[in-house]
Structure 1
């Protein structure tokens, strides 16, 4: 009886292990691509009726929110979307469910601000007035805004910035002892889950810490450029920009790369 009991335990353990491996593979596959399913959520709007929403916003994109291609595509996100800043830059398609006054087409928006007061029962997008209005049928934009809150469906979508190179913006106040960077126009996933930096003449990648919004920082020094930067997104895609930040870098400057996420 003991022999059969041990065999049963071994068989169950083996099956459980196979299930865990299969689940792990499925989870890896799920995370390796943007989820194409549509999920229920809520949407409101803020700012001016035809406005861009944020004036800088909690992600720190500053005047970029008022310039194309981001102009009019701004959304603040509830905590589950904002993710304490790590959700900054992610792109979503949003569709209104009230087909009496809403178009069936989706609008594409980018998380560029935080909405700490948004509802938490479902993911909540607080859209710019311009983006919210584009959900409406022709001539119904103001009627839609007057509703205030909508039931919507949403999904992640790749960020596309035609004609724009991915850039690294140096935070105001940066120095050789405190260097802070933000990624702009990050195509594909759009968000950043980790960032590493490599000094001139070094073979070591130093991990940067999340600072606030879309900004990351390394506190060490004196740091010597030019700097290479490695970025990883929420689905594990990565980009390495060799010597992208020159030795004579200056705060509030943006340095572009031709590298792409893989």
Structure 2
């Protein structure tokens, strides 16, 4: 017997809504913060500062402690959809959004993980910028169950280096990283120094304790995806603290 057209359409919709789970996505939850223009998301534990100016925009999220991994996840991109199978009334079905990790959602041990302590371990939780969250969730719900997965980050232009601090303490913010999005390790070499390993200070900020002020600088950066790029003399001699430099190189997808 032929399946009625309306039933066929219904079954197709159900299959579509169930597809993300079948594709091996992970389960988590999501709330929102920062206001309708995401102005309250500026700054954050990754150190990206003004997210409008640094290119991250309003499609961002603060990660719960287990996802944030002490800053190692800064810059990573996640595709997120509301888990329609778990909560139909709160979801916008069939919609996904891609966000970049720019902040930490700290745990609140005064509240239980099922009642306000959304970012407590071991929960996988995204406190998303409001403009991104409302694409997948109904505003009145406040918190929704989600399915998520890591995806490559798509960026325009090259990797950027912003140098602050003072001589013998250089703090380098590495931003606009494509592909895996996050940095696993870095080193710096001045025109009058050997190659020197850098260490993560906080978020996406990497530090060097060498006397390299005023020298042209070369950086070597290894992404969390395992690709290494050498940014030869990306910072010219005569630079001063507070300046940013944009390379012409980018990590491949």
- TM-score grouping bracket, smaller chain normalisation: 0.7 to 0.9
1:141-198: CA deviation from partner (whole Å, max 9, x where unpaired): xxx1221111101111111113x32111112xx2231111011111111101111001
Aligned-partner Cα distance in 2 for 1:94–1:82: 16
Structure 2 unmatched ranges of 5 or more: 1-22, 108-118
Match of 1:121 in 2: 122
Q: 2:44 aligns with which of 44, 52, 57?
A: 57
The reply on whether 1:191 has 2:182 as its aligned counterpart is yes
Indicate the residue corresponding to 1:243 in structure 2: 233
Greater per-residue helix proportion: 1
Equivalent-residue separation in structure 2 for 1:230 and 1:76 (angstroms): 27
CA distance in 1 between partners of 2:122 and 2:72 (Å)? 21
1:152–1:167 CA distance, 2 compared to 1 (3 A): same
Q: What is residue 158 of structure 2 aligned with on the other side? A: 165
Residue 72 of structure 1, aligned match among 55, 58, 67? 58
Where 1:130 maps in the other structure, the secondary structure is: helix
How far did 1:260 drift?
Answer: 2.7
1:200 aligns with 191
Q: Distance in 2 between matches of 1:251 and 1:235?
A: 30
The CA distance in 2 between the partners of 1:146 and 1:43, in whole Å, is 13
- Distance in structure 2 (CA, Å) of the matches to 1:107 and 1:222: 42
Corresponding residue SS for 1:82: helix
1:210 to 192, 200, 206: 200
The CA deviation at 1:233 is: 1.5
Superposition map of 1:32-51 within 5 A:
37-51=24-38
Change (3 A) 1:107 1:221: same
Unaligned runs of 5+ in 1: 1-35, 137-143
User: What does residue 69 of structure 2 align with?
Assistant: 83
1:178 matched to 2:169: yes
Contact 1:200–1:224 (8 Å) recurs in 2: no
Q: 1:49: how far off?
A: 3.6
Aligned mate of 2:149, from 146, 155, 159: 155
- Between structure 1 and structure 2, the one with the greater Rg is 1
Q: Which residue of 2 aligns with 1:132?
A: 133
Distance 2:148 2:140 in 1: 21
More strand by share: 2
Instruction: Note closer, same or farther for the CA distance 1:71–1:52 as it changes in structure 2 (3 Å cut).
Output: farther
Mapped contact 1:41–1:153 kept (Cα < 8 A): yes
